[in-house]
Chains A and B, each alone.
Chain A
């Protein structure tokens, strides 16, 4: 069943076209990996899907759960189930991770017409989820990402994902900057959350992550276009040969 359908998507920033017509379909239960050289447009694609205003969509469509999401505000897309684990998570001084997560979860619950979660119940839930990504609970009372190391920030993204349980999670280089243990923990987190109703788009430069999170499809993005798609073997091939053989 189709969860996400991107059709001929073109997007500009400051008048420069970055995405030159992306086509991609993601079904429930699938994991897609997107690879590609620096500057090819991977993060741009992720931002456009999440609704970042700086990017202007000039052509094409994005259907998520059969709904055109290009018209929706970023927070609405989030509440519909799109989650983006940022390549560069932002620091929010003075706002505790806990308060932030609870506010976010409650917004999702309100959207779904569910009752908001009590602080006590939430505390239990978030501790459980922190344990899933082997995160020390002390990070919960610290300000969002403030002073977190690169790896801690990435882990915090996965914690947020675990709390919000999205239908479509886009992980933008979540593996970059993670040590080997952390990489495995993050991958385990993803595999635990994975089910037949949700899907993942994993943006990465390294085949290594894909040993842990095994993709159903691998796509190569170059110059704002998907120029090749294949199975997990494509990632192995890229690791060995680089991008030149596809680009030229």
Chain B
């Protein structure tokens, strides 16, 4: 591809980079046991929660930062971060009308109005700014069918039994460095419980927004689908443009009982840093789903265009017999962004099936790695996996890598892996140009075509959003 062409795609602007001026309340900078206690106290947590946090914190203190990842960043000074920043709210708003106009305005600018009547029909939203949940819509309507959709802080107060039973059951605090850190200092996030036999009547969604400077966002999401239930959950995220890097280390746990299905979709658009690679979010997230019961299904779909560094592996543990895990991913990196992402499919039960479709897109000076593990345990007779892993390169200063790991302990397993690497060809762009389509639109079109299989997995409104995002994220990278 010509240099001029490449120049053009790699220059675009992040349109969510504004800062909201609201009063924030902070924990003292830095991390020690007192920080953990401060957070727990601020949130008025019951003793069991403080204990959970402290255990995690003490464990974390013994841990070393991992080094196997294919992303580079200077050591993060964890003492130089605020672990708790919350928009100052005199008392928690009882209704959506009581929300601070500045906050409401922020979400409006992001295209997420918090007034229920204005919301896209059929989507309930939990809006999280910095460390706390600022609004949850359609709560009452969901409660009618027994669905619990609230902030995790609220769940800790109101549903201690569920929290005690499930929090950390899929991702224990011992799991990894950032999961341990999250378990110690997590601030807020969403909680969902779908009772037996209930199909959730609307899409549930959380919108994460980092606003405060020098703050880490450690959110915690827990979704439980009881027997025979179904839920589709969406997650979106943005952050202001700032010169410093900000850490986002979330933990998401999904728990599917017998015959239950959870569909989890992410459109991740954290601030990616500027064209020279300055600033941006470090997105180090642990996401895992447990197909605990027979015939359960968990499906992850992610479209990742943001963050300076994306480092995560939404995974499925297929414990129930005949359970199904799916992972559909588009990871786009441009300029100096780095991504090391993929999935783990752990087959434990009989006749478990998994499907992985990963589409990497790299442009500019970015580096994009797929890392995936397919593990078939000894007892997982009849397990099947299909993996398709494609990379698309734009220009020749970017990198794409694939690290598939396959561990099979049962001879009946069928594991298939296909991989391709391609470039956007000048001929394809010229072909579209010749029909009157500008180069920028042509690249958007080609990239969306390439990512189609994944985009199609998203709910309609999100699919449209994701398509636009892919095109915008590449603006300026081909000329």
Chains A and B come from one and the same complex:
yes
Interface residues of A (CB under 8 A from B): 50-54, 73-75, 78-79, 83-84, 86, 89-90, 92-95, 100, 103-104, 107-108, 111, 143, 160, 164
User: Known contacts A53-B2, A100-B445; is A93 also within 8 Å of B433 by CB?
Assistant: no
User: Is there a chain A Cβ closer than 8 Å to B431's Cβ?
Assistant: yes
A89 close to B431 (CB less than 8 A)? yes
Q: Are A100 and B435 in contact (CB under 8 A)?
A: yes
CB closest residue in chain A, given B422:
A93
Partner of B425, one of A73, A83, A90, A108: A90
Q: Are the C-beta atoms of A92 and B436 separated by less than 8 Å?
A: no
Q: How far is the CB of A212 from chain B (nearest CB, A)?
A: 25
Q: How far is the CA of A164 from the CA of B436 in the complex (A)?
A: 9
The 28 listed contacts between A and B (C-beta, < 8 Å) are A50-B434, A51-B434, A52-B430, A53-B430, A54-B426, A73-B439, A78-B434, A78-B435, A83-B434, A84-B434, A90-B427, A90-B428, A92-B431, A92-B449, A93-B452, A94-B449, A94-B451, A94-B452, A95-B445, A95-B446, A95-B448, A95-B452, A104-B432, A107-B435, A107-B436, A107-B438, A143-B449, A164-B436
Residue B437 is within 8 A (CB to CB) of chain A in the complex:
yes
Q: How far is the CA of A95 from the CA of B424 in the complex (A)?
A: 14
CB–CB A95/B449 < 8 A: yes
CA distance A83 to B435 in the complex (A): 7
* Residues of B with C-beta under 8 A to A51: 433-434
Report Cα–Cα, A94/B450, bound state, in Å. 6
Chain B window 442-462, contacts with chain A (Cβ cutoff 8 Å), 1 for yes, 0 for no: 000110111111000000000
Please indicate the chain A residues that have their CB under 8 angstroms from the CB of B452 in the complex.
93-95
B305 to chain A, nearest CB (A): 17
Q: State how many angstroms separate the Cβ of A20 from the closest Cβ of chain B.
A: 23
Q: Is B235 an interface residue (CB 8 A)?
A: no
Bound form: Cα–Cα A89–B427 in Å: 9
Q: Is the CB of B437 within 8 A of A103?
A: yes
Within the complex, the shortest CB–CB distance from A157 to chain B, in Å, comes to: 10
Please give me the 7 A-B residue pairs with the lowest Cβ-Cβ distance, nearest first.
A94-B449, A95-B449, A94-B452, A74-B433, A104-B435, A107-B436, A78-B436
A101 nearest CB across to chain B (Å) = 8
Give the contacting residue for B445; candidates A52, A53, A78, A92; CB below 8 A. Answer: A92
Verify A92–B2 contact, CB threshold 8 A: no
A75, A83, A95, A143: which has the most chain B beta carbons within 10 Å?
A75
Task: Flag whether B100 is at the interface (Cβ < 8 A).
Answer: no
Q: In the complex, what residues of B have CB within 8 A of residue A75's CB?
A: 433-439
Q: Is the CB of B154 closer than 8 A to any CB of chain A?
A: no
Interface residues of B, count at CB 8 A: 25
- Find out whether the CB atom of B430 lies under 8 angstroms from the CB atom of A74: yes
**Apart from A78-B434, A93-B450, A93-B452, what are 17 other A-B pairs with CB-CB below 8 Å?**
A50-B430, A53-B5, A74-B430, A75-B433, A75-B435, A75-B438, A90-B428, A92-B449, A93-B449, A94-B452, A95-B446, A95-B452, A103-B441, A104-B432, A108-B436, A143-B449, A160-B435
Closest A residue, CB atoms, query B445: A95
Answer whether A103 and B445 are a contact pair too, CB < 8 Å, given A111-B436, A164-B435. yes
Question: Contacts A53-B2, A93-B450, A94-B450: A78 and B433 contacting too (C-beta < 8 A)?
Answer: yes
**A90 contacts B449, CB within 8 Å?**
no
B435 CB to nearest A CB, Å: 4
Closest chain-A Cβ to B116's Cβ sits at a distance in Å of 30
Residues 413-431 of B contacting A (Cβ, < 8 Å): 425-428, 430-431
Q: Which residue of A52, A95, A104 has the most chain B CB atoms within 10 A of its CB atom?
A: A95
Question: Chain A CB within 10 Å — which of B432, B438, B439, B448 has the most?
Answer: B432
> In the bound complex, what is the Cα–Cα distance between A50 and B438 (angstroms)?
14
Chain A: minimal CB distance from B350 (Å): 35
B332 CB to nearest chain A CB (Å): 15
Per the bound structure, the CA–CA distance linking A53 and B441 in Å amounts to 17
- Beyond A78-B436, A104-B437, A164-B436, whether A86 also contacts B448 by CB under 8 A is no
For B445, the chain A residues whose CB sits under 8 A away are 92, 95, 100, 103
- Output the least CB separation between B177 and chain A (Å): 38
Q: Mark B321-355, 1 if CB is under 8 A from A, else 0.
A: 00000000000000000000000000000000000
A137 CA / B451 CA spacing, docked (Å)? 24
Nearest CB in chain B: distance from A241 CB, A: 35
B426 to chain A, nearest CB (A): 7
User: CB-defined interface of B390-427 with A at 8 Å, one 1/0 digit per residue?
Assistant: 00000000000000000000000000000000000111
Complex: A111 Cα to B427 Cα, angstroms? 23
Instruction: Chain B residues near A104: list those with CB within 8 A.
Output: 432, 435-437
CB distance from A117 to the nearest CB of B (A): 13
* Bound-state Cα–Cα, A83 to B431, Å: 11
Q: Give Cα A108–Cα B433 distance, bound, in whole angstroms.
A: 12
Q: How far is the CA of A160 from the CA of B434 in the complex (A)?
A: 11
CA distance A104 to B441 in the complex (A): 10
In the bound complex, residues from chain B placing their C-beta under 8 Å from that of A93 are: 449-450, 452
The contact of A74 among B425, B434, B441, by CB within 8 Å, is: B434
Instruction: Give chain A nearest CB distance to B424 CB in angstroms.
Output: 10
Name the B residues within 8 Å of A90 (CB-CB): 425, 427-428, 430-431
Q: Specify which chain A residues have a CB less than 8 angstroms from the CB of B436 in the assembled complex.
A: 75, 78-79, 104, 107-108, 111, 164
Min CB distance, A172 to chain B, in Å? 11
Quote the shortest CB–CB distance from B1 to chain A (angstroms): 10
* Chain A neighbourhood of B449, CB < 8 A: 92-95, 143
A103: chain B residues at CB < 8 Å are: 437, 441, 445
Q: Shortest Cβ distance from A75 into chain B, in angstroms?
A: 5
For A95, give the chain B residue with the smallest CB separation. B449
In chain A, what residue has the closest Cβ to B2?
A53
Q: With a CB–CB cut-off of 8 A, which chain A residues contact B451?
A: 94
